[in-house]
Amino acid sequence: MNDQRFKPQPPQWTQQPPGQPVLSGVNWGGLNTLYIKEVRRFFKVQMQTVWAPAITTLLYLAIFTIALGRSGRTIMGVSFADFLAPGLIIMAMIQNAFANSSFSLLVGKIQGNIVDYLMPPLSTGELMAGLVGAAVTRAFFVGFAVWLVMLLWPGVSVTIAYPLWALWFGLMGSLMLAFLGLLTSIWAEKFDHAAAVSNFVVTPLSLLSGTFYSVEQLSPAFQAVSHANPFFYVISGFRFGFLGASDSPVWIGAIGLLALNGALWALCYALLKRGWKIKS
């Protein structure tokens, strides 16, 4: 009798070439676990990550409306407070999306537990989806908290005229900053690097994007500079969702931000796939 019939065969997963994925399809269990882990990480300290930005944004609203809005000033046919409120909401959203995604991989590299992100059976796309999805979730939590606080603030109307436009630009802006934060997290080697990007890139671009003023009030040269700022289209489009008026055609901003997010996704994917500054 041939003994070869009784020779145990190695499991199928041992026959895969090194570096080749074994799981087929999307690892929904692993993706869901990573997403929940990242959401719980910021939600455990929600007073710092959600409600503190809401209070800070409310202080911006109070200071600027007292300083500039008490004289009955109007912009785009609405009161200055109503003009200011949508810009402050989306500014808080995108800044917190960046803060969340720029922290995830960076803290793993600094603390030496980056392996917790690399060892689980997650593809590059699934890893990105978990990290970026949690950052967008935090952005919308913060946006809702700011909107809720402003809803109770006297003299300010935050009624949404076009909810789908507000949702689209809120999503596109949050994704853009989440991808930018992920790129920062990949590149940075210490917290000072991430803080430098936040202080010298994210904050100036968000403040100089028409949050507190209409770019139509600027000189032609500064208008051209503002139109080259992608943050401008996020804030202008989000404001259109509330007021029905904007500084730029909403379709141009909607399509341009979608293309920009596609490019940022491709760059993040390529760097994570290569393992640049993570695996080497």
Is residue 13 pLDDT above 50, yes or no? no
Confidence of residue 115 (pLDDT cuts 50, 70, 90): confident
Lowest mean pLDDT among 58-67, 121-130, 153-162: 58-67
Q: Strand, coil or helix: what is 24? A: coil
Which pLDDT score, from 0 to 100, does residue 10 have? 55
Q: Are 226 and 135 in contact (CB under 8 A)?
A: no
CA–centroid distance for 20 within its chain? 31
Question: How many whole angstroms separate alpha carbon 221 and alpha carbon 27?
Answer: 50
Average pLDDT over residues 255-280: 92
pLDDT digits (tens, 9 = 90+) for 170-205: 999 999 999 999 999 999 999 999 999 999 999 999
At 75, phi and psi to the nearest 5?
-135, 130
The residue with tokens 């990550």 is 49
Is residue 256 pLDDT above 90, yes or no? yes
Which pLDDT score, from 0 to 100, does residue 74 have? 80
Confidence of residue 69 (pLDDT cuts 50, 70, 90): low
